[in-house]
A = this chain, B = another copy of it.
């Protein structure tokens, strides 16, 4: 009755919403010079928005359907009405707004990390710097592109929410999501500065970053926004996001870190071992430092406090992650987090059908990494439905 949108549907709608939000360069500037710059940024806005897996939008949309079906079937039997169609379309737009915000966050993240590649093509600041043949100007335009997408995401969400239940709470939740990611980005910069001689603190700090920078908008906000749009009371929606979404979002990031080691470049759009090359301080690294013998710990510490890491170092670090059991430890962490998430869902007080639908939606975010877990993730054990932050 409600055909669920695909990643492709979401991307098409994102592009349409963005094209309608952005001013037409020809109406803004009186001169070719300004128009050309604005057109370049507009093209980059659309380019940057392409190629994601849209798991956040899909989770939000699925949560909306699970919750609203539950609420409606409790109220009354109902056929597909005009109202339902309007709500479906508005929810699609709200789901797109989360993805538009993600694009904004990724563009700023790449500026801060000086990353050259994103989703297999030049990052926005790098591409704009090339076009302008000026790094400062290109980075400045990318900063503004990120800001434009952040503002666009609020405008799209605000418009969509005006046709859905819990309009005010939804707008607040959307802004809370933005602020959470900002905090996560700041904590990430702080994590870079930590000494490596205290692996337990490193685990805590890396999990804090994963919580604020990733779980917030990957699982918590999609669940909260979908539930609010589906008619759930704000306090319950927030609790669902916290209890179910937090462990799910953390599992997502740990799985993303694993993929960087065991995934293939073609699948993730990033070269394998990229996190190691960038010196990223992951929970994997912290676990390896914890589990390693003294000479290996010294080797890891030297590798991650050097300015750069070459191919040989990356290969050796990947072997250390395997040999110390850090990879197995991450797999266990992921399974425990997924168990926590499912348990919280079963304790949520929702009816069995809604729980089942939400459980299925959550299982699309992170596949089970071992065979010991519950069967809720079904046959989805391949990591195809996955991209980075």
Contacts and interface: CB of A to CB of B under 8 A. Distances in A.
B136 A114 contact: yes
Contacts of A205: 29-31, 33-34
A203 B97 CA distance: 38
Interface stretch (A168-176, A224-232, A238-246, A316-324): A168-176
A186 B141 contact: yes
Contact of A37 (B137, B144, B151, B186): B186
Contacts of A178: 147, 151
Contact of A162 (B132, B137, B150, B168): B168
Interface stretch (A191-199, A258-266, A356-364): A191-199
Contact of A137 (B36, B148, B189, B201): B189
Interface in A1-41: 21, 23, 28-31, 33-34, 36-38, 41
B31 A182 contact: no
A348 interface: no
Nearest to A209: B34
B155 A28 contact: no
A271 to B, nearest CB: 22
A108 B147 contact: yes
Interface string A121-163: 0000000000010101101110110011011101100100010
B151 A171 contact: no
A118 to B, nearest CB: 17
A134 B193 CA distance: 10
Contacts of A111: 140, 143
B190 A33 contact: yes
Contacts of A192: 137
A298 interface: no
A350 interface: no
Nearest to A139: B112
Contacts of A21: 179
A182 B140 contact: no
A196 to B, nearest CB: 12
B212 A28 contact: yes
Given A108-B147, A148-B182, A34 B187 contact: yes
A89 interface: no
A31 B147 contact: no
Contacts of A182: 144, 147-148, 151
A268 B37 CA distance: 31
Contacts of A140: 111-112, 185, 189
A340 interface: no
Contact of A34 (B28, B134, B175, B191): B191
Given A28-B183, A141-B186, A158-B175, 8 more contacts: A33-B205, A34-B187, A37-B187, A38-B183, A38-B190, A137-B193, A147-B150, A155-B175
Q: Which 6 A-B pairs give the minimum distances between C-beta atoms? A: A37-B190, A112-B140, A151-B178, A155-B175, A34-B187, A34-B190
Interface of A: 21, 23, 28-31, 33-34, 36-38, 41, 108, 111-112, 114, 132, 134, 136-137, 139-141, 143-144, 147-148, 150-152, 154-155, 158, 162, 168, 171-172, 175, 178-179, 182-183, 185-187, 189-194, 201, 204-205, 208, 212
25 contacts: A29-B205, A30-B208, A31-B201, A34-B191, A37-B186, A37-B189, A38-B190, A108-B143, A108-B144, A111-B143, A112-B139, A132-B193, A144-B189, A147-B147, A147-B150, A147-B182, A148-B182, A150-B150, A151-B175, A152-B179, A154-B154, A154-B175, A155-B179, A158-B171, A158-B172
